[in-house]
Amino acid sequence: MHTLQIGKYTLGSRLIVGSGKYDSFETTKAATLASGSELITVAVRRLNITNPNEPNLRDTFAGTNVKFLPNSAGCTTAEEAITLFRLTREATGIDLIKLEVIGDTQKTLYPDVLETIKACEVLAKDGFTIMAYTSDDPIMARRLEDAGAHAIMPLAAPIGSGLGVQNRYNIVFVREAVKVPIIVDAGIGCASDAAVAMELGADGVLTNTAIAQAQNPMMMAEAMKNAVIAGRLSYLAGRIPKRPYATASSPVDGMIQF
């Protein structure tokens, strides 16, 4: 019930975390372990996981069960992302990737989904297991699945905004549009945001800023862990329908008359 299957990879946690914005590799490790996550995404153009002669995040996590998810943050074309992942796999052997191609680098950091699809088609043929960051558009989600994505990652809100899920209907529509897992990514601000995403039917949540920049990252990491579990259980349990008026919680038939 709690495991998450993405292509050939099985994860024991449905929470995925990021590695940016921490004050040190040790804090990154402590918060990640507190979250229970088994997958941490790394912007390979910004954090070192390939050069053994410099401080290396992979060395920090040696001996843990945490896997690395290289991402293409900073890439603005399909060609850049394809080249980056080919080089990263050659250096690390990692073939599980988070594909993101950003179209607006100045304000919204929204993805260029057409470039993402182009990159996805090539990388899928190269044998990568692809988690594709995208807008909350169910049509584009289906196109990415057709292009070979093993998981779709619709944004909840702009990256780092902390606004939470802004379009609940679209998350549901994306869930209905594809058969592969959907991981709500970007814009999660607190534990309740993660629970909402899971209650809408998401298979998992990715969050970075909400943990890394919390006043107490370790405590927020634990809160996120519990929120994802609670949201998943709530979704599977099936919520009651919403009604405009009150309904008695105990039966009215056979009431004792006074």
Active-site residue set: 98
Q: At what angle do helices 168-177 and 138-146 cross, to 10 degrees?
A: 30
CA distance 50 to 42: 11
Order of strands across the sheet that contains 15-18: 151-154, 129-134, 96-99, 67-71, 39-43, 15-18, 204-207, 183-185
CA distance 145 to 197: 20
Q: 133 by DSSP, 3-state: which?
A: strand
- 51: left (phi > 0), else alpha (psi -120 to 50), else beta? beta
Residue 185 and residue 157 in contact, taking contact as beta carbons nearer than 8 Å: no
Residue 118 and residue 148 in contact, taking contact as beta carbons nearer than 8 Å: no
Angle in degrees, CA 42, 123, 32, rounded to 5: 20
- Nearest CA to 122 out of 182, 93, 80 is that of 80
Cβ neighbours of residue 218 closer than 8 Å, sequence gap 6 or more: 30, 31, 34
